[in-house]
Amino acid sequence: MAALTVLQFVTQSYRLISANNPTVPLHGNDFEQGILLLNQLLDSYASTGLLLTIAKEVRIPLSIGQEYVTVGPADYLPTPNITLGRLANLDSAWVYLDGVTYPLINKSRDEFLASFKYGPLQGLPRFVIVYPDTDIVNLRIYPAPSQFFEFNIRGKFQLTDLTSANDMSGLPGYYVRFLQFALAKDIAMYKGRAAAWTPQLEEMLIAAQDKMEAASEVNLTITGDRASLLNGSWRVRAGI
């Protein structure tokens, strides 16, 4: 089955709120307006990550003394370490060395910045601190690694803006269905057709959103084994 193009997707959203013959094409700036509203929806969904698709897992090398890992879009300058888009929600983070996984503990920025004991230090990374920015997210690794590790995160990334040349093949079917109704609702409001958004359509939107959220991964905390923080065997294997 061929992937649904962005043009087809936007057209179907218009048809949900239109009584026109389904063979009637979009006219004027309807298509451009539909893409604009679709991208605005995707951007707004990245605020918490709940209304984004399933999380992705990423692994990159972590150099000796590297304190920060940046996450953002590929066209951002300087180029981020991870180029899957802005990190909307961090589910978990860990480092890996010689067959051993070391979970990273989420430490709040306020606690980290207010603690004199968290000065520059190298050793076994045990904490990750999230510094969100407008276009990118900086992840502070503490302590900075004393040798080469593999750094892993699992999280949700803000989707790249769609254009007329794209299709919807990169999105799960349940998410496409939810977006179909969500876009139609926004179009109805912005096109002065609020009356076309009926209670039945609202029920279908809620049902689609419930199914989409049921598959969503959102974890605002990162848990780690605090008891192992001063474990001697971990420190030996990490070369501290």
**Domain around 227:** 56-157+219-237
Helices (H), 5-96: 6-16, 30-45
pLDDT at 21: 57
- Per the structure, the count of domains in the chain is 2
230 and 139, same domain (yes or no): yes
Residue 47: pLDDT band with limits 50, 70, 90 = confident
The answer to pTM > 0.95 is no
Same domain, 177 and 167: yes
Same domain for 141 and 165, yes or no, is no
C-alpha angle with apex 141: 139 to 142, nearest 5 degrees?
145
Which tokens is 216 given? 């969503």
Q: Is 9 helix (H, G, I), strand (E, B) or coil?
A: helix
Q: What is the pLDDT of residue 33?
A: 93
Least confident of 10-19, 91-100, 109-118, 139-148: 109-118
d(CA 132, CA 141) in angstroms, rounded, equals: 14
Same domain, 105 and 223: yes
Same domain, 153 and 163: no
* Same domain (yes/no): 32, 145: no
Report the alpha-carbon distance of residue 117 to residue 229 in Å, rounded.
Answer: 15
Tokens linked to 239: 């070369």
Answer whether residue 17 is part of any domain.
yes
Burial of 182-197, coded b for 16+ CB within 10 Å and e otherwise, reads bbbbbbbeebeeeebb
Are 66 and 45 part of one and the same domain?
no
Are 68 and 90 within one domain? yes
Digit-coded pLDDT (tens) for 168-198:
988 898 999 999 999 999 999 998 889 999 9
- Identify whether residues 126 and 147 lie together within a single domain: yes
Q: Is residue 63 domain-shared with residue 35, that is, in the same domain? A: no
Chain-wide mean pLDDT for the chain? 85
